[in-house]
Structure 1
Amino acid sequence: MKTIASVLSIFRPVRFLVVAFTCALILFSNAFPAFAIDSYQSKPTEGTTQLLDIQRKTDEAAKEPPAGLEKVQKESNKGLNEVQGDADIDQQKNPGNSQTANSVEENVKNLLDKVTGKK
């Protein structure tokens, strides 16, 4: 029991540093929650046009009786789906724009090669 007490008394200054570091980490993580400076900064009015168009279509659909199969297929063939149409289709990931992307296995292999010094 004396050995445990002596070991704990040795770590008293270190314990203070750990508590101080933890408090500083909590303070800074709350003060600066996201460093999104380099990411895309959208404009407040950018999505308004698309949303208004979707809202208009929703209002029209609510006033009409349920759509038939032909109408649903016609609307769905215009883009990603019936509601979204082709909105943001250029930002979606698909096999055509993902040919140069690395798989998870490749990323792990590259990381392990770097860690072990093979690369």
Structure 2
Amino acid sequence: MKFPSINFSNLRPLRFLMAALLLAFLWIGSAVPSWAGVSSPSQGEDALKQIQKDSEQVLRGGPPSLEDVQAKAQEGINEVQGGADKEKMKNPANSQSSTSVEEKIKEGMDNIRDIFNP
């Protein structure tokens, strides 16, 4: 019985093509995280300049009084962050549609009961 022989030299262009595609996918995969940050580099700069200015003012003037700290804290979320990204944070007003942990646990337990008690 004669076995058909496979001519591996005919597969060299295919191997080269597969290697080139693999390298292209690896290169694109390493570049995707940089594409995710589409915002401009100067977008966060204004907030940082204000934080630096406030820090320099505190260093020149000594420690702030309790009233100053409380007044600054009332401007936003906390003294350091101020009102930055306040609208992006989760709070009861913007998370009414979400389910609580207890509700998720109850749903999971109900699903488990349904599986074992048909």
The two structures have a TM-score, normalised by structure 2, of 0.57
Partner amino acid, structure 2, of 1:97 = N
Write the mapping of 1:91-110 to structure 2, written as runs, cut at 5 A.
91-104=88-101, 106-107=103-104
Partner of 2:73: 76
Q: How much does 1:107 deviate?
A: 4.9
Distance 1:74 1:44 in 2: 31
Of all paired residues, the percent bearing the same amino acid is: 38
Which whole-Å CA distance do the structure 2 matches of 1:89 and 1:51 have between them?
Answer: 16
Query: What CA RMSD, in Å, does the superposition of the two structures yield over aligned residues?
Result: 3.8
Stretches of 4+ aligned residues off by more than 3 angstroms: 28-31, 33-37, 104-114
In 1, the alpha carbon distance for the partners of 2:28 and 2:41 equals 24
Match of 2:44 among 35, 44, 47: 47
Matched residue, 1:19: none
Q: Once the two structures are superposed, what CA deviation does each residue of 1:81-118 show, in whole Å capped at 9, x if it has no partner?
A: 1121101111111111111112345556767989xx99
Deviation at 1:43, TM superposition (A): 1.8
Q: TM-score, normalised by structure 1?
A: 0.56
Amino acid at match of 2:85: D
Deviates more, 1:75-84 or 1:39-48: 39-48
- Name the amino acid aligned to 1:68: S
Return 5+ residue gaps in structure 2 as ranges.
1-24
Structure ID, larger Rg: 2
| Number of aligned residue pairs | 90
Q: Distance in 1 between matches of 2:94 and 2:80?
A: 23
Shift of 1:42: 2.1
Q: Which one has more relative contact order, counting CA pairs under 8 Å at least 6 apart?
A: 1
Q: Match for 2:49: what amino acid?
A: L
Q: Which residue identity lines up with residue 50 of structure 2 in the other structure?
A: D
1:33 and 1:109 map into 2 onto residues whose CA distance is 41
